[in-house]
Amino acid sequence: MKKDGTGKHDVLYSIRKHVSQYYIYIHDKELGLCYLKISSYLPFASEFYFNGHNYLKQQFDLIGKGYKMEANSFTEIEDIDLLKNLVRELKGQDILERITHWMDIFFRFDKGNRSTLSKLLQHEWYTSQTEISTNVIFKSGKYFNAIFGQLLAKHYTVGLPDRLSTLFGESNRTKKKKESKTSQRLYKMQSCIKHWYKGNSIKMYNKNGRLLRVETTINNPGLPGLKLKKDLRYLASYMWSGMGINGRYFETIADTDADMVLPKTQELLTKTVLTKRGKPIAAIDLRKESQIELMEVLLKPQFMNGFRIRDIKGLLDNALKTAKINYELQKYIARNLVKKIKRSNFYQVTKEGWKYICVCLFQNHWIGSPLTAKVFKKGIKKLASNPSIFEKSINDIFNSLNQLQRAFGITF
């Protein structure tokens, strides 16, 4: 381009210049957004990149299924079974066919309307780097950010050589420090902890403020615990190996106790407290369904910046009276879980309140309710008609509690 006196480009020149690499970005009809990199010199080394999230997105669009994405992660999917089938059915051979299709278009030596590309000049395709990620989505970003700091502090020792060898499936554990290392850094303004082991790595980071992502990167597929083949047709085995590594990593962080984030949770909720004037405020009774219902309403997004009693009254199924709702809110206010905004009729859930309420709801939905249902629901009719089996039912309860204790590492 050449500029004239006014600074505008008025002349266009064609210049032949050596280019080392050609990057061709493609929106493939099956794989979604990809790119093909072709070297312009012998032996014409080429590289093809595609993202599994783009592939799934493309398939959902073709089929017409709904989904939501945030920062290259799915946060909502209309058809979970379809997702599982798409992941299970993706084969390296399918990707190879799409690569061959594009190489036939872009990698050719033209002479008129014909290609002079020799049939003997072909590319062999192998996996160079494979990343397999697993996401855990938290509805409450505040709770996740609080617990993520504890995960970083507690599980930094996962990077020890012997522990990493276990994660990557090696039976012969190594003690050589040079073969492994651990670092902690910022990843898009969020903390990230990363462990390297013999060319492979696994990292955990806070993605987008509410997603816990664990990601395995395989550069060295020949480790004894993996023994993967580099041929592209074996790509599916990389995915299942990576999922296994991610799963073992999650097992190491699954024993994080909520009390690390919320110390003395039960004492705060189950004991009477005194106000500044010495007035006793009763405990929050988590056995009542109305209390759980109130907690769920308090965490609704529309009340993040504040709410009035009349705002939440209509959302409670049992239609509690205003005086009763105010009585229950006083229990939260006395424990600094909810605060009243000065000179207004508005209330707001505090930072600590978000944490405590999230933990309480988690315990109720995923531990308390399933355990109660499993023990009582199926046998309640028999128990009513035959009191003699009461003792057996009690034993079933204790057996269930013992299983729960072993599974979650609970100490009574």
For 320-341, write each residue's pLDDT tens digit: 788 888 888 888 888 888 998 8
**pLDDT over threshold 50, residue 279:** yes
Entry pTM: 0.58
Q: Are residues 245 and 154 in the same domain?
A: yes
pLDDT at 69: 86
| CATH number of 288's domain | 1.10.10.10
DSSP secondary structure letters along 289-349? HHHHHHHHHHT-GGGTT-B-HHHHHTT-TT---HHHHHHHHHHHHHTTSEEEPTTSS-EEE
Percent of the chain past pLDDT 70, that is, above it, reads 74
Domain presence at residue 5: no
In a domain, residue 398? The reply is no
- Same structural domain, 274 and 211: no
**Cα–Cα dist 214/246, whole Å:** 6
Answer yes or no: do 133 and 211 share one domain.
yes
Average pLDDT over residues 28-40: 90
pLDDT above 70 for 7:
no
Q: Which of 233-242, 315-324, 354-363 has the highest mean pLDDT?
A: 233-242
- Please tell me whether residues 106 and 134 are part of one structural domain: no
What domain range is 44 assigned to? Answer: 20-110+121-125
Given a cut of 70, is residue 268 above it in pLDDT? no
pLDDT band at 399 (very low <50, low <70, confident <90, very high): low
d(C-alpha 187, C-alpha 191), whole Å: 6
Question: What per-residue confidence (pLDDT) applies to 262?
Answer: 53
Q: Which of 22-26, 27-31, 40-44, 147-151 has the lowest mean pLDDT?
A: 147-151
Residues with Cβ within 8 Å of residue 352, at least 6 apart in sequence: 262, 336, 337
Number of independent structural domains in the chain: 3
Together in a domain, 249 and 273: no
Looking at per-residue confidence, does 199 or 158 come out higher? 199
In a domain, 210, yes or no: yes
Q: Looking at the structure, do residues 89 and 202 belong to the same domain, yes or no?
A: no
Give the per-residue pLDDT at 34.
93
> In the predicted model, is pLDDT for residue 394 greater than 60?
no
241 and 276 co-located in one domain: no
Does residue 401 belong to any structural domain of this protein?
no
For the chain, the average pLDDT equals 77
Band of residue 379 on the pLDDT scale cut at 50, 70, 90: very low
Average the pLDDT over 138-145 and give the result: 76
SS3 76: strand
Residue (of 221, 202, 223) closest to 213 by Cα position = 202
Which is more confidently placed, 190 or 409? 190
In the listed set 214, 231, 256, which residue is the last one of a domain according to the structure?
A: 256
Which of 228, 256, 284 is where one domain is finished? 256
Mean pLDDT: which of 2-6, 107-111, 213-217, 335-339 is highest? Answer: 213-217
**Is position 385 within any domain?**
no
- Each residue of 16-25: pLDDT tens digit? 767 788 899 9
Question: Does residue 132 sit within a domain?
Answer: yes
Task: Specify whether 207 is located in the same domain as 269.
Answer: no
* Residue 318 within any structural domain of the chain: yes
Integer angstrom CA distances of residue 367 from 263, 270, 291, 376, 412: 19, 18, 17, 14, 15
Is 306 domain-assigned?
yes
H-assigned helices in 45-183: 52-63, 80-89, 92-106, 141-154, 161-167
Say if residue 270 is in the same domain as residue 252: no
- The pLDDT score that the predictor gives to residue 172 is 60
Q: In this structure, are 143 and 213 located in the same domain?
A: yes
> Are 99 and 132 within one domain?
no
pLDDT at 265 over 70: no
**Residue 83 clears pLDDT 60, i.e. is over it:** yes
Residues 168, 251 within the same domain = yes
